[in-house]
Structure 1
Amino acid sequence: PTPGPKSQPLDLEFSSEPRNAATPTLRSRRGQTITNAAGPYATGNRLIGPPSGPSPHLRALTNGGTRLPTVEEAFTPNNFPFIEHCRLATEQNFGVIKIRNIPYSVTRPEILAFLGRNARIVNEQEYEPVHIVMERVTSKTLDCYVEFINLNEAVNAVTRFESNRATNRGGRLGSRHVDVELSSQEQLMKDLFPKAKNVQWQGSRPIIIARDENDPYNSGFQGFISKEELVMLVKHVEAPQRSPFSKECPQRPFECLISTLLKYPWYMVDHITIEDRSLLHKATIELLRLLRERIDSETDPVNLNKMLYKRVWRAALKCPGFTPCQKDDVVFICDVDDRTAIELGVAPYAVWWKPLFTIGHKPNIPHDTIMWYIAIIREHLDRKKQYVSLAERAARHDQDELPKLFGDLDKLIERPKGWWFMTMGQVAKYEWTAIEQVLREALTPALEGPN
C-alpha cells in the first residue's frame, strides 16, 4: 500500500481530444507541479517553463492534433510509451577487483582513498562502484569488490598495488594489510547472492539449473534472495545491540541494500516473482525510514548521514525492478523533489499507476505522449461503463470513489488465483493483453451502417 494520502483528488485535465492549447502540468500528490516537458533542462542548463503546446512527438503522432493514429502507428516502438522496465536492465561487464582481509569497520571513503585518484571506477552517478559484501544473516563484513570501467583499468589498479607493495608503499587499509587481486563479475554476483540455489553465473547473468528430480535434498531455484536475508537485513538496523558486527559499522546494511538493488538481475523476469520484488521493496522502505530516524536523532552522524540517505533513495529510484507506484513510495517517504524524481525516471502521476505491476513508462518518450495514451485508455473504458442509476450509486457509495488515471483498467486485467506468486513475466502477459485490447478497441474506427 502507498503510504501517502489517499484523499487528494487526481487532476485529469489531460484529455485525448486533439487541441493546440498549452500542455497541462502534472500534479504530484503533494500539490506541487511538474512541468510536462520532454526534459527539464534547455541548452545552457537553464530551466525552461511549460511548453507552448504539445510536444513535437505528440504533434507528429496526431498530425498536429487533427486525427487519431491507426492501431499500427500507435503500436510502433517509436510511439508506444509503455515498457517492462525490468527488461531494460542489462548485463554488466565492468572490470572487477577484489580486496581481501579488509577491516570489519572499513568505510567506502577509505576504499576510494586506498585506490587513489587515478583509479577509473564506474560512474558513481549511474552505478555503485564499491561493494563491501555483508553476510545478510549475521551482518559480518566479508570482502570488498570494486568495479572499473573496463577490464584493463582493473588490471592497472592491481598492477599499481603490486608495485607499491614491492616498494613498501601502500598495502594497508586501517591497521590491516590487505590483498588486491583481479576478480570477475561471476565471483561478485556469487558473493552478493550466496543463497541463490541452482544458479550458475556467467558474467553477471545467472543461468538457472533445473532441479534434479533424483536428488531429494535439492529444492531447486527459490529466488536470488531469501526471506530470511531480507528480514535480518532490517533487524540489524532495528536492534544493532543484538548484532555485534552491525554495531561496529551501522552503515553496512544500507550499503548492502544499495548493492543488492543495483546488481539484482532484474531482467530475469521469468524467475522473479511478484512476491520476491514486494519483499525487497518492503525492506527498502523500512530501511529508509529507519535511516531517517537515525539521522534525525544524530545517532552516528559520521556513518549515518544525509549523503548515505541520498545514495539509498537514489538507488531505489534507479532500480529497474520497482513499479512506478513503488518508486512513488520512495519519493513520498524521502520527500524527493518532483524534478529530481522525473530526472531519475519516475513516471508522471506515479502514485496512480497501481493497476500495473510490471509495466511502466518508456524512457525518452515525452510525458504528454504518455498522458495522451493513458487518456485514450481511460476515456474508452469510461464510455464502456454501463449506466448506473442514482439509487445504485448511492448504495455503492460511488460518490466517494476517487478518479482513476487508467480508468477501470484494473478490472480488465486478469489476476489468476495465486498470481502474487507468479513470475513478473507471467503477470506482464495479462497486463499487455488488457492494454492492447483497450487500445485496439479505442483506435479501430467503428463500422458505419447504411444511410
Structure 2
Amino acid sequence: MPILQHQLHPPPVSNETSQSSASFAPAPRQPLLAPPTTPQQRLVLPYPSPTAAKEILGVTNLAIDAETAIENAPFIELGRHALAQNWCCVKISNIPYSVTGENIMEFLGKNAKVVPDDVGLSVHIIMDRASGKTMDAFVEFTCPKDAYRCVTRKRGKILGSRHVLLDVVNQEELMKELFPKARGITWEGVIPNVLNNESGSSKADLVTKEELVLVVGHARTPHRSPFSRKCLQRPYESILSIVAKFPWFAVSVYTIHQRDIIFQALIFTIDILKRQCKRGRTTPNLDAELLKKLCKAGVVCTGFTNKQKREIIKMGEFGAEGLEKEVEDDIPGFEGLLALNRKRGAEPKFIEV
C-alpha cells in the first residue's frame, strides 16, 4: 500500500502552538524502525478457560469466610487459653481483722480439699479498698460435697477470738465482692455478662483505676489507716485475688487499658514489697514468700503479654527466681503484639516473617 505524504513529513507546528502545549506534550517517543502500517483488524482466537483450582490442588473449596480464617490463624487473643473455673465457695464471716490465709487454712484443717496452689488461689480475704478494713473471707473448694462437709464440721467454731459464720455460696457472690465497682455487669458464675447500654459497647470496667490506686496506697503507706496497720499484707493479698480471679477468658468484656492498669498495680506492689525485704522491714506475713506469690501470679497470668511477664521477673529479682521458664519465647517480628500470642500447636513456619 502506498505511504501517505503526511506520515513521512508531518506538517510544521507554529512556535506559539509548540510553546503553549510544551507542558502538556507527552514524552518524545523512540523513532520508528519501520514505516507504520495501517492497523490490522483484531483477530480473536479461542482461548481455553483456566483449569479449576480444585482440580489442581485437590481441594473442594478455596473460598473461606473471615470467621474460619481467624479460627485457623496461628495467633490467638491473650486470655483465650484461660478457663472459667466455677469452684464451690465457702464464705466465712465475722473474721478477725488480722487474720491471714494461713490462719484460715489451719482453721479448716489439713483434710480440707481446697483448690491446689498450682491451679489457682484458694483463699480470698476481701478488703474494703477505701478504708483498708478486712471484710469477709472466701475459700474455694474443688467439690461442692467437700464444701458442705467443711461447713457442717466447722460451724460454731472459733477463729482467732471470734465465732465465725460459715455458709456455702456460689461464685457470683465472690465476684461481686472482688469487683464491687463493676457497672452494667451481671455475673453468671465467674462469667461476666454485659447489659445493654446506650453506647452499644460490649466493654465494661470491672475494676477501676481509682480502686487500684487505693489498694497500692495502703501498701505504700499502711499507717494512714488503722485497719491497714493491723494487717500489713492485706493490700498485697487483695492484688493477688484481683489478678487470680479477673475473667481473663472474657476478652470481649475488658480492654487493653484495663489489663494494663491491673499490671501496673501488680508491678507497684512487687516493687514496694521488694524494697521492704531489702531493707529488712519484713514481718512474719510480709516477707519474701509473699513476694514470690505476687511474682508467680503475674507470670502465670494468661492476660499479660510476654513482655509484661519479663518485666515482672526483672522487678521481682530474688522473688522471681526460676520463673523464666514459665515465659514463652517471643515470636521474631511480632515482639510488639499487645493482645495476641501464638496459638498452642501453631507451627513456626506459619508465623515466621
TM-score range (shorter-chain normalised) is: 0.7 to 0.9
* CA-to-aligned-CA distance 1:154-213 (integer Å, 9 cap, x gap): 111111113xx4xxxxx1111111111111101000101000011111111111112369
From the superposition, tell whether residues 78 and 191 of structure 1 become closer, same or farther in structure 2 (CA, over 3 Å).
closer
**What is the TM-score with the length of structure 1 in the denominator?**
0.59
Measure the CA separation in 1 of the matches of 2:72 and 2:342.
12
Q: In structure 2, which of residues 168, 184, 204 is the aligned counterpart of residue 182 of structure 1?
A: 168
From the superposition, tell whether residues 351 and 266 of structure 1 become closer, same or farther in structure 2 (CA, over 3 Å).
farther
2:128 aligned with 1:145: no
2:119 aligned with 1:126: yes
Measure the CA separation in 2 of the matches of 1:341 and 1:110.
31
Return the offset for 1:242.
Answer: 1.1
Contact in 1 for aligned 2:87/2:143 (Cα 8 Å): yes
Measure the CA separation in 1 of the matches of 2:332 and 2:145.
44
Return the offset for 1:223.
Answer: 0.3
Report the residue type matching 2:189 in the other structure.
G
Measure the CA separation in 1 of the matches of 2:161 and 2:321.
44
Q: In structure 2, which of residues 293, 296, 299 is the aligned counterpart of residue 317 of structure 1?
A: 299
2:212 aligned with 1:230: yes
Return the offset for 1:348.
Answer: 1.0
Report the residue type matching 2:342 in the other structure.
H
Partner of 2:343: 362
Partner of 1:449: none
Unaligned 5+ segments in structure 1 are: 1-71, 166-170, 214-218, 378-451
> Which structure 2 residues correspond to residues 271-282 of structure 1 after superposition, within 5 A?
271-282=253-264
2:286 aligned with 1:293: no
Return the offset for 1:266.
Answer: 1.4
Highest CA radius of gyration, 1 or 2? 2
Partner of 1:104: 97
Measure the CA separation in 1 of the matches of 2:132 and 2:78.
31
Report the residue type matching 1:260 in the other structure.
I
> Which structure 2 residues correspond to residues 430-441 of structure 1 after superposition, within 5 A?
none
From the superposition, tell whether residues 151 and 106 of structure 1 become closer, same or farther in structure 2 (CA, over 3 Å).
same
> Which structure 2 residues correspond to residues 27-426 of structure 1 after superposition, within 5 A?
82-162=75-155, 165=156, 171-211=157-197, 222-335=204-317, 340-342=323-325, 344=326, 346-349=327-330, 354-363=335-344, 369-370=347-348, 373-374=350-351, 376-377=352-353
Return the offset for 1:318.
Answer: 1.3
Contact in 2 for aligned 1:324/1:353 (Cα 8 Å): no
Contact in 2 for aligned 1:327/1:350 (Cα 8 Å): no
Return the offset for 1:303.
Answer: 1.5
> Which structure 2 residues correspond to residues 10-25 of structure 1 after superposition, within 5 A?
none
Measure the CA separation in 2 of the matches of 1:280 and 1:352.
27
From the superposition, tell whether residues 154 and 350 of structure 1 become closer, same or farther in structure 2 (CA, over 3 Å).
farther
Q: Aligned Cα RMSD in Å?
A: 2.8
Contact in 2 for aligned 1:95/1:153 (Cα 8 Å): no
Unaligned 5+ segments in structure 2 are: 1-63
Q: SS of the counterpart of 2:262?
A: helix
Return the offset for 1:300.
Answer: 3.0
Measure the CA separation in 2 of the matches of 1:188 and 1:285.
24
More RCO (CA 8 Å, sep 6+): 1
Return the offset for 1:77.
Answer: 11
Return the offset for 1:268.
Answer: 2.0
* CA-to-aligned-CA distance 1:223-261 (integer Å, 9 cap, x gap): 000111011111111111212211211111111111111
From the superposition, tell whether residues 325 and 100 of structure 1 become closer, same or farther in structure 2 (CA, over 3 Å).
same
Return the offset for 1:144.
Answer: 0.2
Q: SS of the counterpart of 2:79?
A: helix
Report the residue type matching 1:284 in the other structure.
L
From the superposition, tell whether residues 184 and 355 of structure 1 become closer, same or farther in structure 2 (CA, over 3 Å).
same
* CA-to-aligned-CA distance 1:10-44 (integer Å, 9 cap, x gap): xxxxxxxxxxxxxxxxxxxxxxxxxxxxxxxxxxx
Q: How many equivalent residue pairs?
A: 285
Q: SS of the counterpart of 1:303?
A: coil
Measure the CA separation in 2 of the matches of 1:272 and 1:373.
29
**What is the TM-score with the length of structure 2 in the denominator?**
0.74
Tell me the percent identity.
36
Partner of 1:431: none
From the superposition, tell whether residues 77 and 347 of structure 1 become closer, same or farther in structure 2 (CA, over 3 Å).
farther
Contact in 2 for aligned 1:196/1:221 (Cα 8 Å): no
Measure the CA separation in 1 of the matches of 2:248 and 2:71.
24
From the superposition, tell whether residues 268 and 109 of structure 1 become closer, same or farther in structure 2 (CA, over 3 Å).
same
Q: SS of the counterpart of 1:112?
A: helix
